[in-house]
Structure 1
């Protein structure tokens, strides 16, 4: 068992002149302890390992006895056991039970294959991996190769053991597909071919001839086909198409659960000596939710991106605070949390702080009271799902976020977290991809709120024949019914478009009995929202509030009634532009403090996109000269 030693020296000791301190410390420790080995170092930090607990304790005592021990911060932890083989590494992966079962199967059958010399029986088997983006395909392939090497099931050729390729997205002729095989395969490799672009053309003659060429190379290579995560029926259809010529075994890599994503982050943090405080993980969850909201989430890759951002934010905080420790706390990454919509206030406090929401607040209290009554009187819990109807910027997302917290505080939901997604992100690009994608998003939201913005985009009318949108709605209805008491689906959008969606899908309306209407803000509310953005964050001149009220009082009716007017979003954009004008003015004037003035507001309002709002005119009819 090995033990890890972390030694940090105060930055000022190094930066004020003694830049060789860590190097001298390493040299002295190496001379004193035979088992001392350096894992990583920088000007102010060294990570090393020793063989035994006794050596770790002796090294700690030795470091504590140094003349400048007061400048050092030490930590001793038990190092992770070094993996002794591919199978152990595979078992240590997060998730992937089907893949692990396949690898154990190959490990157990290897002695029989070698004893009876039936290598061709094994090598003529191909594999179909159904796996999402960022789910660890390359790692799975590399460990597959390592296992084959260790067991002696396959002899690899020269160069890289794993080669990955993709069938062209465009229409390709026989020559192009065959060229991919003859030039890309070689001999003695694991060959992974992404056939996603051909999922709708697996019966084409060109694709069948491509498979025939692969068959010629299968004995000398291990062939893996890759497709995105598909529902079982669609995946079986792909397997059958491939199985007309090849022997194919399917392996599905299930999406990472929220707990899996936390574990991936925990391991990434530990690799560089950091840990996350228990109460900071909710901010990590909010950052994940923010990344998912636009439908572009890439699993491990996105998690590692978040981890890097969190570590850097922590180090910026420590540098400003004059501290240096490896435990990430909520206060140190709060800026990231705010950007992701994380709010430490209770759900009730968030609702109380909203402007012009009296009707919405009363409606929510009515709904919550009905749910609580059913729960306390042993009635069947009513369906929790809701519709939020209103124009952009009227507070639908903010209220949905607060509602999750409120329902958790009242004991209705287990977690009360908030998950947001655009409607079309529920849809796949290929037949069979939509249902698992929608189910995955719903599973993540169990115990919480799933907010689907612009939900009407799921239905594009009968003429469009949108099979993917219909499949998403059908899957969503099933999830809403089967888990009616465990999560809240909130569909949001424009009033007319939402009604069109419901008229075309009667099953939705009956499962979303609660409707909350979000009216547009009036001029006074818009001005109050602007001033609340200022409150406590930036200084304002004495006459600034009056200028803000005058600005919004002058907004034409045509602007306020326009379907494209974004209400509070418009206010936020104007506020941020005003701050930008004030900051630039202060810099040019050499002023340290930034104070918002009515001149800054006037300058911001003069920018084209805002000035156009004040110049709304009726359209001219006929011909003009």
Structure 2
């Protein structure tokens, strides 16, 4: 039954007549595989040359090596496209009206199936063979090009007389074949450790029947994020004669990282078997071997996404991107829905309408935007994609119409995909009409699709202020954007190297794998994406590479070229940090090095331990409470470290994963409160926009409500604007209010709901004399100064006196810093320069007792009358 599929369909007599009448073309005979073919008489030399060509059969390019120069014809052939397109054609002779001929043959038949003649134009040459679609049968074919020569870089063509020959095969459609069973699967790697390098993994298996002439098996191997490691084609050949035993290898240019992999097999374009295996440093083992069910996600992936070129271009772009497994799975679901609608169409049923609005929850990066764009092009046949940055959209560029850009977005928008990012820019009352218009537009324009890209906090805030908008997004259309895994980082780094014409040596691959595993164990890779990978290459690997090259002795040109393109193990070291996405321990080290602050350190360690414990429970499948809020009140006198700690807290909470950015936005009353109606709201909107994902540190926050007798003071309006953020769960922002303890308590009493929004109150006690002495010694060590014994005792005595006599305005660490830098060191400089005699290194680094005494006369605390805080702002 199967053999009948291979029987050739007889060609009509019209083809022979077409050839005979084809302008009486001059022909000659040429022997190929012991058969004499009638071929066109060649031009010597050829009139034209070309650099690239495509032979498209049913959407597949047979000249693309990924097709293995083979294609399967579908059962329904009435609309098959079959054409040759030659581009970059150049005239090599003096004639401009000479034609180029294309002759199509089936091996074994002396006469051509079809002949086409075309004169090249500025676009190239187009030969259409689509009318042959119903007559093509499985077998081996070749194409002859006459009066044309290929560039040296094109190795697809061979000479046949004075013509160019391209050979290809048409296979029977796998959907109508009985697939063999797969047995005795073996995976092997001839190296130790097994993981950590690119290269070959040997794959062998047995078929339940012998391989035939027109059998072709394709194996696609993916990692856990559906990143394609390798694709191989398996067919009968002299090296693999008719046999049941199949021995091949997966030869990936990408590092085989420890983890889970899936190898999907298709037979003549029809998916039929799945092999899952795990790869560790010590072992490689098959975890699962089973048949692929029709219309399963694996079937859809191979049948429609990988094989059908009409659908697979943007999938290929997405699939080549490391990470983003969640987006790739949604693309597979989309193709599954399409397959279901094709089945309904065959049964004369209408398509099932799907809601294509998506929420992408995560940070906005260039990699994220590119992945979403590829996904949008998969969904949208018109390829109409609009990326809208709400922050730019809401900039008031047109004073006559501040919302011209917002309103203009909807003009003429009837179909395609709109992706809106930086949603926080739309979270004020003035922008509510934007969401109203957007919702109305989506209900009236059924071909319009909406994407939201933002953090979980941003999207929740949008839905809180616009509840009906939430109904436009099905729960299953929420896509979480996770950080890169270790495998994703390794593969992204290899992609980066490839763009710069670099590659890793095997030793470098092993060193990189070990380094990334260690960094991951310490939590240093928690928030990594494409940007951090690029920084790792340019900030760590590349400088070491250049230094190694500069230190090399002169070599021969051939060996130097290899050195200039190869990253070696010594170019990779573990000292890299991007300055932001570092571990909790590393960020805490700076805080732990500070003198005092025991209460602050205790709170942060307790918070981190709770998060670690929650993560442990989550991995065990136990319930985990929400992350909650961490707004803080800092009370204390000047110079006790409030601003410094706030800056550290931003980085620490970012390392914990509680803040998406981790910077600190410092502000105070004059930047928040306006003088006119509405100005305060606009100021606060801008401040809150900048603070999204960061720490908002409001210094001397009590001044916002200092005028207790005037509730119309605009400072109270600033507090009300703050409450909208403080009331949200997981707002991706930490608000810190700082000031004197008494005044801060008075401020919190002005609004009944204010104190409850701040779960943490940290008291920054004044530094003791011992602590200030320790800070001073740290400053001296940092600047490479040493104190004599008398100078050290004198310094401690002056500090003790200052602490005993301090006033309310005493600025603690700020005072000691001024005492050292603006008092002691200038006094020392004056003494050394005015003393006369030789000045050596020792005299330039030794602080004497008299330097301390001279400085203390200037920096001894005095009683300073506390200034009354004036009333600020508009008074009604």
Same fold (TM over 0.5): no
Max radius of gyration: which structure? 2
Q: Which has the higher contact order (CA 8 A, sep 6+)?
A: 1
Between structures 1 and 2, the one with greater strand share: 2
> TM-score, normalised on structure 1?
0.43
TM-score by length of 2: 0.31
Give the structure with the larger helix fraction.
Answer: 1
